[in-house]
Amino acid sequence: MARTLITSAIPYINGIKHLGNLIGSQLPADLYARYMRARGNEVLFLCATDEHGTPAELAAAKAGKPVAEYCAEMWEVQAKLADGFRLSFDHFGRSSSPQNHKLTQHFAGKLAEAGLIREVTEKQVYSKADGRFLPDRYIEGTCPNCGYDKARGDQCENCTKQLDPTDLIEPHSAISGSTDLEVRETKHLYLRQSAMRDRLEAWIDSKSDWPVLTTSIAKKWLNDGDGLQDRGITRDLDWGIPVKKGDADWPGMEGKVFYVWFDAPIEYIACAAEWVDAGKGDDWERWWRTDKGADGVRYVQFMGKDNVPFHTLSFPATILGSGEPWKLVDYIKSFNYLNYDGGQFSTSQGRGVFMDQALEILPADYWRWWLLSHAPETSDSEFTWENFQAGVNKDLADVLGNFVSRITKFCRSKFGEVVPEGGEMGEQEQALIAELETRLAGYQHHMDAIEIRKAAAELRAIWAAGNEYLQSAAPWSAFKEDPDRAAAITRFALNLIPVYAGLSAPFIPDAAAAMAKAMGTELSWPESVAQAISTLPAGHAFTVPDVLFAKISDEAREDWQARFSGIRT
């Protein structure tokens, strides 16, 4: 049995995520996890909340709660929403866990032993108005590279250039807006990424199958300017993992914590330890240590393009630099941005549809299908209410939903709620089996390659083929002249429903489960259409399912468009 380790970029704890966040990592990761399980792989699918750093502190202060309490509450919220979208994590962890504290401090100690950490007395921006040193991402200004006027002090979201706060033009505090900033001296630890450059470049070059987006961003950061820069891994904050070398104190680093971008990726590993400690698994090291069996694991990461530099350089530098036999990622699936109705989704500005709002409007499958079938793989894509309405109505209601409803209701009216007997498959049925076998192979190829939009298009074509067959074979017409032929057509078409359920489950799990339940079968992946097409024998009982997908009316679409046109309050 093949073993697949899957991680999704872990979302910040501060607030509910929007649909752009969802399609940028968690949802496609879930699609792949469900597919791998359906094909018989042993899968460990991990995600967590990213709880450290200033975003958590500020959000907690705004909520009037201690930061630990705030994070615990928001973890519950995010876990519930993940369940609402049917994200099938084997464990949804927390970067503030004791397991992550221990592992982060362990890695820091190993990197120090390897000579890959240096102490630096540096000048850091201090905001008098806020009474604190400002973390890089809470200093905003104009990017000196591209001129984007909302660049952060760690990187520019527009051109992805790695920055230092002092690089920004006209910097100001993102907390208070104050420009009363001054530079003060403070001591921090730096990961000597520059010393790892050759090893990282060789490793990246070995990944010839990575998406162009992933490789191009990694190479850009690797070779930008003077090349790969050393990176600070500590901060002057109260909330975070205390700086230690393993279990030992780190002289001169008292009161400091590790930078969130150092400890957050380590949570992928810690999350597996949490999974075991929660009683869900029995051996996390066989997934993460190559000396304990992880050399037989394929590890796939999913993330938005803004996370690529840290996952192709900084985290691998930590893993490689430790000198220990940890599992490195095999494949990184990265995504461009999903924009919203002529602008951008934004958590900080509250613009767009957020996960909780989406589920209040429609069930998860509607969103899952549209987002995945429009995944921003090769370029940015855009959510508009008109496209969403069209995608739901044409793909889900008119194609899949219509097929299931039409054939089950016809059978009930002419033969009862049992699969009819009589007649044999003819040329039409054999032709459709041949077409579906070809399409199944194409669908599996795209899913294996994590080509999500192509996979969605092939799945829709599989649904459409059934509709076209039903329209051409017309059992309602055949019934008048040849009831046995009508029975054979109906039996064949009913048998397509379990096939469709199994193939559709990674995309639309609730509808797939409803189809399988109505037909009295278990969800399973059809390795062969020719074999699966006789799953339901004559006499097998079924029920006519409720409407799988209701169409979105123009009135509802216009109402939602108006409701979500402004800033979320």
Query: Cα dist. 104→159, 180, 309, 342 in Å?
Result: 30, 35, 19, 41
Using the structure block, give the residue that is written with the tokens 């597996």: 272
Tokens of residue 298, six digits: 């394929």
Question: Would you tell me how many other CB atoms lie within 10 Å of the CB of residue 69?
Answer: 11
159 is in an annotated binding site: yes
Is 411 assigned a ligand-binding role in the annotation?
no
CA distance 84 to 299: 26
Give me 456's structure tokens.
């969605």
271 is annotated as contributing to ligand binding: no
Who's near 107: CB < 8 A, 6+ residues apart?
266, 318, 322
Phi, psi of 311 (to 5 degrees): -90, -15
Q: Are 515 and 545 in contact (CB under 8 A)?
A: yes
Are residues 500 and 462 in contact, defined by beta-carbon separation less than 8 angstroms?
A: yes
Give the residue from 234, 236, 237, 230 showing the smallest Cα distance to 258: 234
* Element of type H or E holding 201: helix 197-205
Query: Phi and psi (nearest 5°) for 181?
Result: -115, 145
Angle in degrees, CA 173, 177, 180, rounded to 5:
65
Secondary structure (DSSP) of 335-373: E-PEEETTEE-BTTTTBS-BHHHHHHHS-HHHHHHHHHH
- Cβ 447 vs Cβ 35: under 8 Å: yes
What φ, ψ does residue 195 adopt, rounded to 5°?
-70, -15
> How many Cβ atoms from other residues are within 10 Å of residue 433's Cβ?
17
Over its C-alpha atoms, the chain yields an Rg (Å, rounded) of 27
Measure the CA–CA gap between 563 and 409, rounded to whole angstroms.
Answer: 37
φ, ψ for residue 285, nearest 5 deg: -70, -25
Nearest in space to 245 (alpha carbons), one of 115, 96, 107, 101: 107
Yes or no: say if 329 and 210 are a contact pair by the CB < 8 Å rule: no
Per the annotation, binding residues for ATP are 347
Per the annotation, binding residues for Zn(2+) are 143, 146, 156, 159
Per the annotation, binding residues are 143, 146, 156, 159, 347
